[in-house]
């Protein structure tokens, strides 16, 4: 057989990367080196010219001794070769991924050779099964390689991935969003946002956005709480959280970027406050942090003890009315009496119902300092701010008799003491004459009473004791102590 003449494809017999032309694994001028060798061998001339030629009937190079096909086939566009065989295509492969070389037209000479080979095979009918056994595994290998390449190309997806504002295009074989993020090492927490969701199936051309959550310690109009935002700037966070920032005080600029670890943000919105001072109302818009600041912004100055109706360090609320209280005051010192205590003790030597003062009681004195205030011209209740004792009180000590009184006084028991008592005092044990000198049922003076063994004043003693003392006086002096009523006895 004469050496085949090859047509050029481009500037060389085979371009290195065209189908069936070789590439990195090719030998010679782009020949296809079979990885399954020595299951079947390259035909002679393959390494030199890159032609894939196998034989099965002895008429072609590489006949049965090379395990060749039952039909002579030559690739690479040989002029005198039979028709160029087309490789098998995977049903799922992209038909544009690897265009095939055009089939060469059959000349009369090539067609004649083909008919001769087919006739020879019919004569050698016994060789066909053996050739088929060699052809089937080789065809499976070619089909597997073609199908794998097509599946590889079909599963590769071009995805636009944006992570926290940084966008890039990548190729992936991941089935869904969650698998892609795991492959790319993108960790997503409970406060992060992934769009579309992690379970969404991927397709080429999809766009995926990941936005990280950032903690913000937000103090809004005096109330603190922790919130999460996916915004990367203070301005974006305020809009995302729905905070009205027009005219508000911000502890950080709106353009400040929020790091992943978050930040602390103090926001004081603009509020309407009315300040009442010196009989006049002042209404203003303010974002003051305290009532004191709002009062100063209104042009009112607090002096001395002046204060406000709301605590000066409290947060001013929208619509709040703050009253300024002008306070004037002075101190006043007063002396107050400290009453004495009375302590009584029993004494068996005294008749029952009789009391004797052992120690007289004396009041004490304390000096008290008061603060007197006038608020907006109105006097307030004095407030005690200091107290000191200048004189201690003295306790009054009284003895109380427990001895039973005598039942009789010889020489006076048979007299009409009731008639005498009625005449002297109207029968009243606590009666006192208008001068205050005489008292009791029988109108004793204090000196006479105590001379008879009585204690204290006669009008304070029980009626029985008064009668007993009167009998003793009668025994001593007769009826003379009662010059007008004594005849009643």
CATH number of 214-268: 3.10.20.30
DSSP-based helix, strand, coil % in the chain, nearest 5 = 25, 30, 50
Tokens at residue 144, please?
A: 């597997």
What does the pLDDT read at residue 199?
92
CATH number of 407-488: 1.10.530.10
- Span 57-76, mean pLDDT? 37
Residue 153: which pLDDT band, with cuts at 50, 70 and 90?
Answer: low
> Tens digit of pLDDT for each residue in 394-406?
999 999 988 887 7
Q: Which residues pair with 159 in a beta bridge?
A: 170
Same CATH topology for 157-211 and 330-399: the answer is no
CB atoms within 10 A of CB 17: 12
Which pair of structure tokens corresponds to residue 150?
A: 């097509």
User: Taking a C-beta distance cutoff of 8 angstroms, is the pair 466, 429 a contact?
Assistant: yes
**Cα separation of 139 and 144, whole Å?**
9
Percent of the chain with pLDDT over 90: 54
Tens digit of each residue's pLDDT (9 = 90 or more) over 102-143? 333 334 443 444 454 445 445 444 444 454 444 445 544 444
pTM of the model: 0.41
The answer as to CATH 3.10.20 being correct for domain 271-325 is: yes
**36-45: b or e for each residue (b if 16 or more CB lie within 10 Å)?**
eeeebebbbb
d(C-alpha 273, C-alpha 268), whole Å:
14
Region 267-281: mean pLDDT is 94
Q: Which of 468, 379, 450, 459 is nearest to 426 (CA)?
A: 459
Peptide bond into 196 cis (omega under 30): yes
424 vs 443: CA distance, rounded Å? 7
The pLDDT-based confidence of 66 (bands split at 50, 70, 90) is: very low
The H or E element spanning position 70 is none
Structurally, what CATH architecture does the domain formed by 330-399 represent?
Single Sheet (2.20)
Please state, as a whole number, how many other Cβ atoms lie within 10 Å of the Cβ of residue 411.
11
* CA atoms of 53 and 56, how far apart (whole Å): 10
Q: Tell me if residue 73 falls in helix, strand or coil.
A: strand
User: What does the domain layout of the chain look like in residue ranges?
Assistant: 1-154, 157-211, 214-268, 271-325, 330-399, 407-488
Pick the CATH number of 157-211 from 3.10.20, 1.20.140, 3.30.43, 3.30.160: 3.10.20
- Report how far residue 367's alpha carbon sits from residue 337's, in angstroms, rounded to the nearest whole number: 9
Task: Summarize pLDDT for 414-438 with one digit per residue, the tens.
Answer: 899 999 999 999 999 999 999 999 9
pLDDT, residue 168, reads 94
Which string of b and e fits 345-360 if b means at least 16 CB within 10 Å? Answer: eebeebbebbbbeeee
At 303-359, the pLDDT tens digits run 988 999 999 999 999 999 999 999 998 999 999 999 999 999 999 888 777 788 999
């Amino acid at each position: 057989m004469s050496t085949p003449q090859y047509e050029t494809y481009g500037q060389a017999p085979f371009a290195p990367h065209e189908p069936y032309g070789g590439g990195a694994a090719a030998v010679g001028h782009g020949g296809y080196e079979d990885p399954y060798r020595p299951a079947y061998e390259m035909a002679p001339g393959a390494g030199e010219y890159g032609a894939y030629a196998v034989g099965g009937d002895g008429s072609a190079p590489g006949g049965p001794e090379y395990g060749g096909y039952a039909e002579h086939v030559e690739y690479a566009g040989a002029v005198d070769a039979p028709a160029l065989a087309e490789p098998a295509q995977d049903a799922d492969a992209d038909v544009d991924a690897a265009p095939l070389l055009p089939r060469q037209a059959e000349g009369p000479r090539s067609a004649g050779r083909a008919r001769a080979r087919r006739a020879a095979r019919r004569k050698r009918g016994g060789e066909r099964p053996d050739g088929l056994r060699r052809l089937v595994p080789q065809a499976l290998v070619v089909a597997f390689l073609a199908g794998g390449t097509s599946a590889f190309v079909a599963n590769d997806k071009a995805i636009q991935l944006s992570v926290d504002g940084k966008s890039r295009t990548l190729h992936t074989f991941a089935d869904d969003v969650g698998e892609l993020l795991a492959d790319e090492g993108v960790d997503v927490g409970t406060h992060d946002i992934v769009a579309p969701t992690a379970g969404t199936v991927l397709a080429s051309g999809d766009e995926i956005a990941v936005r990280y959550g950032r903690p913000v310690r937000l103090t809004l109009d005096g109330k603190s709480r922790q919130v999460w935002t996916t915004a990367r700037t203070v301005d974006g966070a305020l809009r995302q959280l729905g905070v009205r920032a027009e005219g508000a005080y911000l502890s950080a600029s709106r353009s400040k970027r929020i790091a992943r670890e978050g930040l602390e943000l103090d926001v004081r919105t603009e509020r309407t406050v009315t300040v009442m001072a010196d009989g006049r109302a002042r209404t203003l818009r303010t974002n003051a942090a305290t009532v004191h600041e709002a009062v100063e912004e209104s042009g009112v100055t607090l002096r001395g003890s002046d204060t406000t109706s709301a605590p000066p360090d409290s947060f001013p609320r929208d619509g709040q009315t703050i009253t300024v209280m002008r306070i004037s005051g002075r101190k006043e010192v007063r002396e107050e009496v400290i009453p004495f205590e009375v302590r009584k003790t029993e004494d068996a030597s005294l008749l029952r119902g009789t009391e004797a003062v052992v120690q007289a009681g004396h009041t004490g004195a304390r000096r008290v300092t008061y603060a007197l205030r006038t608020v907006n011209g109105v006097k307030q209740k004095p407030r005690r701010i200091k107290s000191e004792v200048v004189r201690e009180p003295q306790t009054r000590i009284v003895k109380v008799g427990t001895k039973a009184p005598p039942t009789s006084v010889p020489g006076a028991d048979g007299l009409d003491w009731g008639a005498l008592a009625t005449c002297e005092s109207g029968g009243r044990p606590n009666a006192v004459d208008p001068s205050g000198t005489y008292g009791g049922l029988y109108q004793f003076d204090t000196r006479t009473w105590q001379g008879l063994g009585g204690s204290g004043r006669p009008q304070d003693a029980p009626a029985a004791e008064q009668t007993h003392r009167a009998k003793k006086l009668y025994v001593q002096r007769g009826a003379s102590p009662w010059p007008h009523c004594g005849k009643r006895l």
